[in-house]
Amino acid sequence: MARIVTVAAAQLGPIQKAEPRSVAVQRMVRLMERAHARGVQVVVFPELALTTFFPRHYHEDRAEADSWFETAMPSNETAPLFEAARKYGLSFHLGYAERTPDGGHYNTAILVNPQGEIMLKYRKVHLPGHAEYDPARKVQHLEKRYFEVGNLGFPVVRAPLGGMPVNAGLLICNDRRWPEAWRVLGLQSVELVMLGYNTPSINQDAKGFEAHHLRVLHSHLTIQAGAYQNATFAVATAKAGTEDGCELFGNSIIVNPQGEIMAEATTWGDELITADCDLDACTLGRTTIFAFDKHRRPEAYGRIIDQVGAVAPPEWQSSRAAE
Ligand code: ING
């Protein structure tokens, strides 16, 4: 019997620095109501969906930034999400800033079932930006200041979504730019990758020219390639619009295992896009071009594990004796 799961990217428009969590949560509950009306079974919210993208703001005392973090999930502010999930029989993905009881700080994503159980948790591994205030930047990007590198690896779990078992995996924002992250999920037979992102629509650094249209191109390129090369569906959900003067692009998409965009958001506000994902569509790629067990050659991939940065190649020397 076909395993068809109806998924939604629940894109959020901007959340201003001064806006309380309750406003974002109310907007997300509205999107869950709309998702239910459209027969959706899994709703994917963005990265850091409860607050503004606070890593653009510098706090000299890191403890001041703790107000952006959740110490409990659910909490009083986020309980309405769990109530809506139960009411509508929805599973949902939520990105948020997690502070652990032992004082850890992570950029985290969870997958929650209608009963309010957290079926999967992931902590962002690829943290872009910098740790100290950078006066050369128009806008700071302080993820390396406020978050530790994720310590949960890239887990995949076979979990019931829409009443069917689905191999689900999570990425967060910058992770989508690293093929290694997708491949670790692919090597666990992932069928549905869910990810949220907050990405500026223009290059804030003065490090070189980058045409504005490339921001969306690179985002789509990485998600489509990741889905195709690992024979998986992907739901990628933006936080979009202008937050305290910083513009984030939307363009949330749902992608199939052939790398095709099934649906794309066309606004930069709160918007729901949906798609019916026939999970058996993962089988073709997984049993032919990307039959990893038949075609991968790990013995040739040593550099991927052994090296962090790139090294200079050896200089070519002619093999002919000096004329
Ligand atoms: N944001 C951005 C992202 O990877 C970025 C950072 C923007 C990197 C543009 C490169 C180019 O989409 C987050 N939050 O990772």
Which residues line ligand 1 at a C-beta cut-off of 6 Å? 128, 173-174, 177, 197-200
Whichever domain contains 272, its CATH number is 3.60.110.10
287: domain range?
A: 4-322
Burial 231-247 (b: 16+ CB within 10 A, else e): bbbbbbbbbbbebeebe
Kindly report, residue by residue over 227-284, the tens digit of the pLDDT.
Answer: 999 999 999 999 999 999 999 999 999 999 999 999 999 999 999 999 999 999 999 9
The backbone torsions φ and ψ at residue 121, rounded to the nearest 5 degrees and listed phi first, read: -135, 140
Kindly report, residue by residue over 132-150, the tens digit of the pLDDT.
Answer: 999 999 899 999 999 999 9
Closest ligand 1 atom, residue 127 Cα? 15
Kindly report, residue by residue over 22-67, the tens digit of the pLDDT.
Answer: 999 999 999 999 999 999 999 999 999 999 999 999 999 999 999 9
pTM for the predicted model, two decimal places: 0.97
CA nearest neighbour of 141 among 206, 54, 210, 218: 54
Nearest-CA residue for atom 15 of ligand 1 = 174
* Alpha carbon of 45 to ligand 1 centroid (Å): 17
Q: Are strands 164-172 and 192-197 parallel, antiparallel or unpaired?
A: parallel
Closest ligand 1 atom, residue 218 Cα? 11
Total domain count, the chain? 1
Closest ligand 1 atom, residue 126 Cα? 15
Question: How far is residue 6 from each of residues 75, 121, 215, measured CA to CA in Å?
Answer: 28, 21, 28
Strands (E), 209-319: 233-238, 241-243, 246-248, 253-255, 261-264, 271-278
What distance in Å separates the CA atoms of residue 323 and residue 103, rounded to the nearest whole number?
68
Q: Which of 137, 141, 204 to mutate to test the pocket of ligand 1 (most atoms within 8 A of CB)?
A: 141
Q: Which residues does the annotation mark as catalytic? A: 47, 124, 173
What distance in Å separates the CA atoms of residue 307 and residue 301, rounded to the nearest whole number?
11
Compute the radius of gyration of the chain from its Cα atoms. 20
**Between 207 and 4, where is the model more confident?**
4
